[in-house]
Amino acid sequence: MEELKYVGKSFTRLDERDKVTGAARYVDDLDFGPNLLYAEIVESPYPHALIKSIDTSEAEKVPGVVKVVTGKDFPYRFGLYMHDRYVFAQDRVRFIGEQVAAVLARNPKAAKKAAKLVKVEYEELPYVLDQMEALKDNAPIIHPDLANYWHVPWYFPKPGTNIAHWRKVRKGDVEKAFAEADFVFEDTYRVPRYAHCCIEPHISVALYDYSGRITVWSSSQSPHTQRNLFAQALAPLGISHKDIRVVVPYVGGGFGGKAGVSMEILAVALATVVKGHPVKVRWTRAQEFYNTYMRQALVSKIKVGVKKDGTIVALKNELYWDAGPYAEYGANVVNAAGLSATGPYRIPNVWIDSICVYTNKPAAGPYRGFGYSETHFAIESHMTRVAKMIGMDPVEFRRKNAIRRGDPVAYGAPMNPNGLIEAIDKVAKEVEWGKKEESKDPNKVIGKGFAIFWKAPAMPPNTSSAAFLKFSEDGSINIVVSGMEIGQGYMTVMAQIAAEILSVPIEKIRVELPDTDRNPYEWQTVASHVTWSCGNAVKRAALDAREQIFEVVHQAYHLEKETLYLEDEKVKCKTDPEFQLPLKDFVINGIQTHDGTYRGGPILGRGIFMPEFTTTVDDPETSQGGHPNVHYTVGAGAVVLEIDKETGKMRVLKAVEAVDAGKAINPDLVKGQINGGLLQGLATVLYEDMRFDDKGKVLNPNFTDYKIPTAMDVPKEIVPIIVEVPQPDGPFGARGISEHTMIPAAPMVANAVEDALGIRIKSMPVTAEKVALAILQGKKEVE
Amino acid sequence: MKKKITFKLNGEMRSVEVEPNDILLEVLRGKLGVKTPKYACGRGDCGACTILLNGKSVRSCLIFAIEVDGAEIVTLEGLSKDGLTPLQESFIEHNSFQCGFCAPGMTLTATELLEKNPHPTEEEVKEAIAGNLCRCTGYVSIIEAILDASKKQ
């Protein structure tokens, strides 16, 4: 293979100069002129209630108020995979903070003042906040109309209950395998809710102009999906896809929270009632917590059977998810996590129930890790315990049972090539696994914890990416795509892929931010799939452009195309070393021939990518027979944790994580993902602790009381490790790694606590308080 | 009751009429076209709205605009006026920022640190920027860039 010049090199980010100079513009930085209206939302104070009446008359009298609207003005349901979500609450509210009405005013102060004057009369209904309670026979039903909701064919809601979706996986005979196993162990683990905490809050601005077009500027991971969902929801108004334009400038963090559509639809709906006025809906930090998506809470009942030699023979995993009242997106988290709730292990007998349950807590949905962070806390805590109980080293146990290329996964398809064993070995070596460490401080102990992970992109089987690539007169390139730069370095990676094919240095390449009028289709920037999927589209666009370049050179100079190649921004010829034609000489204006006429014209590459081997056509009772996932990315992590025995306070002395990138297009950016994802994961286990009152109201929707890590919380040492076992269908062998980096953090900390103190904490977060109390009370297990 | 205030903003004298309860952050962004201080928490927790007020880093979301009459304010726009500072160059070199939303505040805080303490230890850097939250990077690339810039100055 020829040496790569651009792929595999740590170039500086294309967007970094914009960001350090402040040139980068985010939605709230755009100016919309004096006609702009500000929206203030009237929110439900009850977790579950019927709306009896709404009186807007006092609010309408406030100077500066232009319009007050209620749910009656927008009787629309929407959702990504199921239409169970409402633009505004209709006859009932389902969580505290739900949007009931809105005030549009010329300034935010008037809007706020008027919103307080909207009088809503409610009739309270019984409510349910816990998913296990919501499954009981006498639980209040949150969606009486569930039977009438549209959903994708691979969702299985149970009307008459609070079950939004039930994914079943059945392989082999688990009961027989448990009966024949030498050792069987079962326990229950709990993961609470978490918030994404993008530093930029959600924001959406929409304008319904006098021609009937809607333009939306939103902070989004999903411009085309947003357009699609807006068009579906507003179809009764006669609005179609071509009438909607979604523009997304830079986005200040996503982590799944800005995937799909949540609050953005409010601006769009509101704009339709005030033609000619741009309408801005900007979430406060508090709303950011309770009215976008949270991460779903999970109860995992897991049972594992092993042979004496450590071979896993069976796994049963019952997953109960608290989705809140709207599961249009969250149920796909449940689906994806259910399909893969074995963890990265080779297990012949599998029984998984992954159940998405409606509750009256705020709506939950996608969050970095997409269910895998949650399931891995249970799986990876449990696997360490099983190993120890049979007297086997937890790392050796994982090495023995780690899934390998070709092994069938839970739904029967073969596992893709992967470097899981290499990741395990490299992490174990880096962390000096097996070597006991002692603190110099007699009050402190040190433990080590290990975890492995896998994750597949959770996508419908026919999701796609598309790219245009165009040249300018000087041979520079604009790549026009709709993937989103949410911080991961997407732009830079796309430029490196095109640079490699076209021999154009990345300083001469721009990657354009999405505008659905102009940029071609991208499903969404989610699932850690854009390096792989959009990377393939960009690679194909570059190959298409290269083919056009060779064709025009062939026509003008009669050189055989097979002899041509690109190097240093020039077309060169293997059979004629004298021939060197700079790209800039012809990529716009063509090549002049002997008679003075020209050949060619602007070079314009086009590439698309859609996986053509995936299917969700499987047996819903077993999940066998389909191929829902494209591939898995694997890795391993370990932590060296110091614990103060008096206070329970923990400090991460060293964190190591290896991830199999297939091919790291930009190693520095991969390391950046590991550093960032690891800390985000460590935060869920060590710091972040969302609290609700007895009616499901979030008590700490701010950074004072919901502690995300500061620079002071960075582990003393972090060692990122890149493994590269190529993905056969990835661009230059690459696969996604971004979400994955936070997955092993929680179980590796819980495992380190047990290693240090012999105390098993079975619920997240693993706080100093829990540890100190367990020591004080002499407990060996904490529920 | 509106009042006219006058202050130096990024080297230029600016006047603007404000209500007594107008927040400085919103006045800078909404009335003076200065967009790098960001709204993110509105209560001083995150540092995204950091500006330099008379040379000191402060949270512009916690200050009434009326308080800065006669003062001097520098935002990231002012810092970049005559080209990039060595700290900004160092941020680029280290791929320090991901989404970039915290970058303006982080840059001003780090600028203040390096002015007061040209050669900080790693712990001092961490402490100085602990009031500026970043959700993407795990801070590693930011800390490295600040230390690297300090070595070069």
Say whether pLDDT at A54 is over 90.
yes
Q: What pLDDT band is residue A2 in, cutting at 50, 70 and 90? A: low
Q: What pLDDT band is residue B82 in, cutting at 50, 70 and 90? A: confident
* B111–chain A Cβ distance below 8 A for any pair: no
CATH of domain B86-152: 1.10.150.120
CATH of domain A16-24+463-609: 3.30.365.10
User: Hey, where are the domains in chain B?
Assistant: 3-77, 86-152
| Equal fold, B3-77 vs B86-152 | no
Type of residue at A623: S
**A296 CB burial (10 A radius; 0-12, 13-18, 19+):** buried
Say whether pLDDT at A308 is over 70.
yes
Segment 10-39 of chain A within 8 Å of chain B by CB: 10, 12-13, 15-22, 24-26, 28-29, 31
3-state class of A413 per DSSP? coil
* B99–chain A Cβ distance below 8 A for any pair: yes
Among the listed residues A437, A490, A542, the one whose alpha carbon sits nearest the alpha carbon of residue A755:
A437
Residues of B in contact with A668 (CB under 8 A): 95
* B93–chain A Cβ distance below 8 A for any pair: yes
Strand partners, A281: A204
d(CA A277, CA A267): 11
Type of residue at A646: E
Element holding A721 (H helix, E strand): strand A718-723
Q: Is the CB of B35 less than 8 angstroms away from the CB of A25?
A: yes
Q: What does the pLDDT read at residue A771? A: 98
Q: How many CA atoms lie within 13 A of B100 on its CB side?
A: 28
Share of chain A above pLDDT 90, in %: 99
Q: How many CA atoms lie within 13 A of A114 on its CB side?
A: 30
Dihedral, CA of residue A106, residue A107, residue A110 and residue A115, to nearest 10: 90
CB pairs under 8 A between A and B: 162
Say whether pLDDT at A1 is over 60.
no
Q: Label each residue of A288-321 as H, E or C.
A: HHHCCCEECEEEEEEEEEECCCCCEEEEEEEEEE
Mean pLDDT within A287-299: 98
Substitution target in A21, A221, A285, A738 with the highest count of B β-carbons within 10 Å is: A21
Q: Is the CB of B135 less than 8 angstroms away from the CB of A15?
A: no
- CA dihedral (B57, B58, B61, B65) positive or negative: negative
Say whether pLDDT at A504 is over 70.
yes
Segment 707-736 of chain A within 8 Å of chain B by CB: 708-712, 714, 718
3-state class of A594 per DSSP? coil
Among the listed residues A594, A596, A567, A598, the one whose alpha carbon sits nearest the alpha carbon of residue A583:
A567
Among the listed residues A338, A388, A268, the one whose alpha carbon sits nearest the alpha carbon of residue A616:
A338
Residues of B in contact with A679 (CB under 8 A): 138-139
Q: Is the CB of A16 less than 8 angstroms away from the CB of B96?
A: yes
CATH 3.90.1170.50 domain extents, chain A: 32-125+218-255
Q: Is the CB of B46 less than 8 angstroms away from the CB of A13?
A: no
Q: What does the pLDDT read at residue B80? A: 85
Q: Is the CB of A199 less than 8 angstroms away from the CB of B102?
A: yes
Tokens of A476: 């520079």
d(CA A575, CA B108): 57
Q: What is the per-residue pLDDT across A717-739, written as a single tens digit (0 to 9) for each?
A: 999 999 999 999 999 999 999 99
Mean per-residue pLDDT over chain A, rounded:
97
Contacts of A491 (CB under 8 A, 6+ apart): A13, A14, A15, A485, A511
Q: Is the CB of A198 less than 8 angstroms away from the CB of B98?
A: no
Chain B: closest CA distance from residue A722 (Å) = 17
* A253–chain B Cβ distance below 8 A for any pair: yes
Q: Which residue among B41, B97, B139 places its CB closest to the CB of A711? A: B139
At the top level of CATH, the class of A32-125+218-255 is alpha beta
DSSP secondary structure string, A62-119? STTEEEEEEGGG---EE-SSB--EESS--SEE-STT-EEEEEEESSHHHHHHHHTT-E
d(CA A560, CA A512): 34
Q: What pLDDT band is residue A77 in, cutting at 50, 70 and 90? A: very high
Q: What does the pLDDT read at residue B116? A: 97
3-state class of A269 per DSSP? helix
Q: Which residue among B38, B40, B130 places its CB closest to the CB of A712? A: B130
d(CA B46, CA B56): 17
d(CA A512, CA A518): 10
d(CA A247, CA A30): 11
Mean pLDDT within A700-710: 98
| Whether the Cβ atoms of residue A21 and residue B88 lie closer than 8 Å to each other | yes
Element holding B90 (H helix, E strand): helix B86-93
At the top level of CATH, the class of A294-459+617-782 is alpha beta
Mean pLDDT within A486-505: 98
Q: What is the per-residue pLDDT across A632-676, written as a single tens digit (0 to 9) for each?
A: 999 999 999 999 999 999 999 999 999 999 999 999 999 999 999
| B3-77: CATH architecture | Roll (3.10)
**Closest chain A residue to the Cα of B90, Cα to Cα:** A20
* A251–chain B Cβ distance below 8 A for any pair: yes
d(CA A572, CA A564): 6
Q: What pLDDT band is residue B81 in, cutting at 50, 70 and 90? A: confident
* B62–chain A Cβ distance below 8 A for any pair: no
